Chains A and B, each alone.
Chain A
């Protein structure tokens, strides 16, 4: 895809402000394309002699679109030199746009899109709490698709408690992930193109039980993935890596339960944190990775609304820095509290990284997609933390 591009890279390394300054001081003319898996579609910025003249971000156009793109903290940029025939819609000075956009970003006027860090997602927008986070994935690799299925608006694709081990990827459309709660069904996430439905535990036992309900929003086209092929890939991994993946998969379920508990207000907050003491503090540069041998731990994030428990970990689970994953539970965005009887062993992250690199792109995407869901779910937990426990 990058055949014609003149400069391309990752926004988490070089952010839009830097990219625009770089293109600006080179007097570049052409199209800057931004893609993010957290956005519904790509964004475009048209430059003439180094100055942005127009932009689009899905339904937005012009300056409004350009400013909104500064919120894309994670994603790819791709600049291609060409003659731009767009009208000069944006007339503001380049540096003015950049400085103004950063001010708006800092004041919370521009919504941030990206893996959710300690800085919270959109706590600044309580009015928007009804909107459901949206997750996209990468392109679906047809090598792994065995069949396609269509669902109509409102149709249930999977139901909580049902047995089933299919894994789908969304080709077109969107689906809502819904959890059953005592107060009725609760929509947690909306998945879009490229996102996966199903979990890794499908490879484990016959008859995996679905932990949530998936409902089509509009008409949806799904790709049925070759689970046998994926299962085979899973089977040849080392037992260490398999255990890691299973624990990782379980983590999404437990993080979701934790978020739902907070959202519905019936959390046993104090109970979960009592008898536990801090082990790794949020923001600490901790490069090691641990596996729990005995005892319990809780991953906790410090947010504007106080401490928020994200997930409880038990024997066999991992905490610390995982090099290839970004799920918002790493030491730079969350603390680890441990029980008194905790025993943990060190794990070599390099070995895990090697095994991860050996996996097929589809399998890697599946893992990344789970990590994104964990990250977003944790952010939901933080923004739904009720007032009464904020003092902690």
Chain B
């Protein structure tokens, strides 16, 4: 759930990039940090966790309007998937407002994608959230590779049959599809926040 800071007239919400190790979560965030310098506030925090890196920075989306006269500040995170990082995962996933699931298009990673999505489902459940309710966007990354990759249809069949989330093909290393994935996730998140606000008003 987003945090309202009355002092700064700001709404702080949290978007988390989830996915199997080496799928390109970090590359996504690094690209956002580099390409949208005007909207990024503060430096990027990078923590080396086993098999992956955990990233964090603040993002001020422009042109998305205000909610109740408050600016929106977005915290972007990636999260380490390994079981042992439970404290980190708890901090990051608790109160998450929007999710980007980054899947790896490589054929050999097919099972890893499905396991990671299942993991996400279980982790969210642990913090009282439902994967069907949290705004979620899928990104099928590494479309640029020439080694055998899966077709978008096959991947959607594997991962998105029940979720029916928006899907974006991407090549995060070149920045392709990175912006539009984030934008869609922000949109869904804000729509969801507005819905929650009206609910309480």
Contacts and interface: CB of A to CB of B under 8 A. Distances in A.
A106 B45 contact: no
B87 A106 contact: yes
Nearest to B48: A103
Contact of B49 (A93, A95, A103): A103
A93 B47 contact: no
Interface string A96-139: 10111011011100000000000000000000000000000000
Given A25-B12, A26-B7, A93 B45 contact: yes
A102 B87 contact: yes
B42 A103 contact: no
A26 B5 contact: yes
Contacts, number: 44
Interface residues of A, number: 16
A interface majority secondary structure: helix
Given A25-B5, A99-B47, A17 B91 contact: yes
B151 interface: no
B56 A106 contact: no
Given A17-B91, A95-B56, A100 B86 contact: no
Contacts of A17: 87, 91
Interface string B77-91: 000100011111001
Given A17-B91, A96-B47, A103-B49, A25 B3 contact: yes
B153 to A, nearest CB: 37
Contacts of B5: 25-26
A26 B3 CA distance: 11
Contacts of A98: 91
A12 to B, nearest CB: 14
A103 B85 contact: yes
B69 interface: no
B45 A105 contact: no
Interface string A22-38: 00011100000000000
Contacts of A99: 45, 47, 54, 56, 88, 91
A93 B84 CA distance: 24
Contact of A106 (B3, B43, B84): B84
Contact of A93 (B3, B43, B86): B43
Contacts of B86: 106
Nearest to A97: B45
Interface in A10-58: 17-18, 25-27
A11 to B, nearest CB: 13
A149 to B, nearest CB: 43
A25 B45 CA distance: 17
Contacts of A93: 42-43, 45
A17 B48 CA distance: 18
B54 A103 contact: yes
Contacts of A27: 7
A276 B89 CA distance: 38
Nearest to B12: A25
B90 to A, nearest CB: 8
Interface in B117-160: none
A99 B88 CA distance: 7
Contacts of A25: 3, 5, 12
Contacts of B54: 99, 103
B51 to A, nearest CB: 12
A106 B85 contact: yes
B45 A103 contact: no
B125 to A, nearest CB: 15
Given A25-B3, A93-B42, A102 B88 contact: yes
B84 to A, nearest CB: 5
B122 to A, nearest CB: 15
A105 B91 contact: no
B88 A106 contact: yes
B44 to A, nearest CB: 9
A26 B45 CA distance: 20
A76 B5 CA distance: 25
B83 to A, nearest CB: 9
Interface in B156-191: none
A103 B43 contact: no
Nearest to B54: A99
Contacts of B88: 99, 102-103, 106
B47 to A, nearest CB: 5
A26 B6 CA distance: 9
Nearest to B90: A102
B91 A102 contact: yes
A100 B87 contact: no
Nearest to A22: B3
Contacts of B50: 107
10 contacts: A17-B91, A27-B7, A99-B91, A102-B87, A102-B88, A103-B47, A103-B88, A106-B86, A106-B88, A107-B50
Interface of A: 17-18, 25-27, 93, 95-96, 98-100, 102-103, 105-107
The 6 closest A-B pairs by CB, nearest first: A96-B45, A102-B87, A102-B88, A106-B85, A99-B47, A105-B87
Given A26-B5, A99-B54, 7 more contacts: A95-B56, A98-B91, A99-B88, A103-B48, A103-B49, A103-B85, A106-B85
